[in-house]
Amino acid sequence: MIDESILLGLGAALGAGLLIGIERERRKGAGPRRSPAGVRTFTLASLAGAIAQSMAQPWLVAIGALLIAALAAISYWRDRSDDPGITTELALFVTYLLGVTAMHNPAVGAGAAVVVACLLAARSHLHDFSIEVLTSAELRDALLFAAAALVVLPLLPEQPITWLPSVNPRKLWGLVVLFMALQGVGYATSRLFGTRLGLALSGLVAGFVSSTATIASLGTRA
């Protein structure tokens, strides 16, 4: 009897390879300058990772990863285009890893494959957003917010410090992060829907999160 989990993992790996492979096949091109990896290559790479993982031999998984990496390097080296990229080669290696992951957790493998396929399909939209839509000031503000929320906030202690008694530094900085987030939402909605409608929508939504921070944020903009 074959374990159902193995069949489910193989099915998830097959679906992941087909999904990413179809997206790459549409961008493969034709003729001697076409990309060497298409739907069959990606599907086989994903199934290879799943089969290697199902055998419970870590060395076999490692050898497979090295083989996929070597094939990707050869493909990049033989690329004849004027501006060769490594997206397809990197996607091939990621597809192999998704096949390995699908045997442990099919849901994670399938979900990650959808995310990868969406990223590959949204190439032109992401490029236009990064170059033409997003300004340097907006990028700087987004990086500052990310550093405040993901770097500074987790490092702050929850216990009061000597020079700031009876105050929780993490909660205090959390309010700062919340204030920054509400300002960012207000700016984004204003840019998308205009000042009049954008401010109304941001104030309505942010008021359910924190009325005090919303009033402070709108007061700052005023």
Structure token digits, residue 36: 């060497």
In the predicted model, is pLDDT for residue 114 greater than 90? yes
What average pLDDT does this structure show over 44-53? 90
Cα 205 off chain centre by: 26
pLDDT for residue 162 is more than 60: yes
Q: What is the pLDDT of residue 25?
A: 83
- At residue 85 the predicted structure's pLDDT band, cuts being 50, 70 and 90, is low
* Cβ count within 10 A of residue 177: 15
Give the span between the Cα atoms of 26 and 19, in whole angstroms: 11
Query: What pLDDT digit, counting tens, does each position of 119-150 carry?
Result: 888 888 888 878 887 888 888 888 999 999 99
C-beta of residue 45 within 8 angstroms of C-beta of residue 17: yes
Residue spans of the domains in the chain: they are 4-127, 134-221
**Least confident range of 65-69, 71-75, 112-116:** 71-75
How many whole angstroms separate alpha carbon 199 and alpha carbon 186? 6
The segment with the largest mean pLDDT, out of 57-66, 109-118, 165-174, 189-198, is 109-118
Rounded CA-CA distance 76/92 in Å is 12
